[in-house]
Amino acid sequence: ISKTMKEQDVKYKTQEFKALDKSVSELSSDRRTTDSELSAVLEYYSKIQERCIAKPETYEERKRRRQAEIAGLKDALTILEDETAGSFAQRSKKGRKSRHFLAIEPRS
């Protein structure tokens, strides 16, 4: 009886060992899959973070951008002043009276 019990015990322990071994194998495979998915998600997250999170401008970048804007505004002002001066010169050459739009004309 003791020999039969020991054989049955070995048989059940072997089945349990095989079942546990299979579970370990499946769980290891699941973990590898989950780890690869996690690394893909973290890589995607870092790329999104680079694009979406605003990075503060350095002082040099802000200064350069403002200087470019000021230079553009000065150029525009020069162009407008030249055009305005040219249009007044053309009016006076044609003999037209140059009047201010708010000027009051004398009544007759």
50-82 pLDDT tens trace: 888 777 889 999 999 999 999 999 999 999 988
Residue type, 51: R
State the virtual CA torsion across 18, 23, 24, 28 in degrees, nearest 10. 140
Report in angstroms the alpha-carbon separations of 22 from 25, 38, 70. 5, 24, 73
1 pLDDT band (50/70/90 cuts)? confident
pLDDT of residue 102: 56
Distance CA 41, CA 39 (A): 5
Q: Which element (helix H / strand E) includes 32?
A: helix 2-52
85 pLDDT band (50/70/90 cuts)? confident
22-58 pLDDT tens trace: 999 999 999 999 999 999 999 999 998 888 877 788 9
pLDDT of residue 101: 54
pLDDT of residue 51: 84
96 pLDDT band (50/70/90 cuts)? low
Question: In the structure encoding, which two tokens stand for residue 40, read together?
Answer: 């893909």
Q: Is pLDDT above 60 for 103?
A: no
DSSP codes, 68-92? HHHHHHHHHHHHHHHHHHHHHHHHH
pTM of the model: 0.41
